[in-house]
Amino acid sequence: MAIPKPVFDPPFNVVRFSHLECDVVDLEEAGELYRDVIGLAVSSESPRGMHLRGMEERNHHSLVLRRAQAPVARALGFKVHGKADLDRAEEFFGARGLEADWVERSRMGRVLRVRDPWGVPLEFYAEMDRLPPTHQKYAAYKGVKPLRIDHVNLFMPDVDSAVEFYAEIGFRITEYTEDPESGRIWAAWMHRKGSVHDIAFTNGKGPRVHHIAYWVPSPLSIIDLLDIMSTSGHLEKIERGPGRHGISNAFFLYVRDADGHRTEFYCSDYLTVDPEHEPIKWDLQDPTRQTLWGAPAPRTWFEEGMEFAGVEPVDPEFAGTPIIAP
């Protein structure tokens, strides 16, 4: 597939990936992990749910946990530049036969809820309650010292089509993996804010959430979290890492909560703000794309993800074979 050309004047202006809303079965257990072990700050909480954020974040929340009977992902949130962009987004999705509705959300202004062509629930907003800065309150830093949310990665049954659709609304490819036999895209990393990605797509049964990611100060922060988790009863929640990705150059660790939600903690990627930035192509069978040091990902990495509420995942259109750890 030919990589789509960047769209520098998109139909509406997405600033960045903003937040994930998801359901958890045991809110108390999830709260203990994300608040006390990982170190996210609690913006608000009730018996029904919890809003959390990173230490640099002025927006009220970047992760919303809801108490429920079963774990699912509810919505991916994206911040747009201004109110007029919300109206333009409504027009864009409506013109493509994709239903768009205005919904009420706690601590937020107007919110436009839509579904992309694969059923992924997206919510766009321009305003969210702002909180006082906490990035220099170092005594409050805990766990991995999460600073800010960075991106979301999705399993998609047709990555080529997903790349085409999201490129149309201004997301630009930074890196991608191509299956050498079919010439199709196995995975792609796309950005709006000028880092490696705000959203990424991985070939697989979907749509499902593969993971969200928080930016952390340094690799030593990840080592600290490993020490904390391994000595506080959370060792089994460490799924993959630490390591350094070939793709993005990021130092990483992946953790899964009791409900299976996967979160990446990472640092050390690079800027992509230049308009002439050229996408980097990787071969699916290159072992250094997964981890620069050569260690392959576990099978769970390619098979397990979080379903979206009300969306039935479908099998991928092609079966490229990545390198999997024995």
Q: Which two tokens stand for residue 315?
A: 């099998």
Nearest Cα residue to 283 out of 242, 321, 317, 252: 321
Give 21's contacts (C-beta < 8 A, 6+ positions apart).
Answer: 64, 66, 73, 74, 75, 77, 123
Beta bridge mates, 251:
244, 267
Residues in the chain where the model's pLDDT stays below 50: none
240 C-beta neighbours (distance < 10 Å), count: 22
Q: Using one digit for the tens of pLDDT, what is the confidence trace for 268-326? A: 999 999 999 999 999 998 989 989 998 889 999 999 999 999 999 999 988 877 888 76
Tell me which DSSP letter residue 6 carries: P
What pLDDT was estimated at residue 182? 87
Q: What is the pTM of this model?
A: 0.96
Q: Provide the pLDDT for residue 280.
A: 96
Question: Which amino acid would we find at residue 295?
Answer: A
Helix (H) or strand (E) holding 246: none
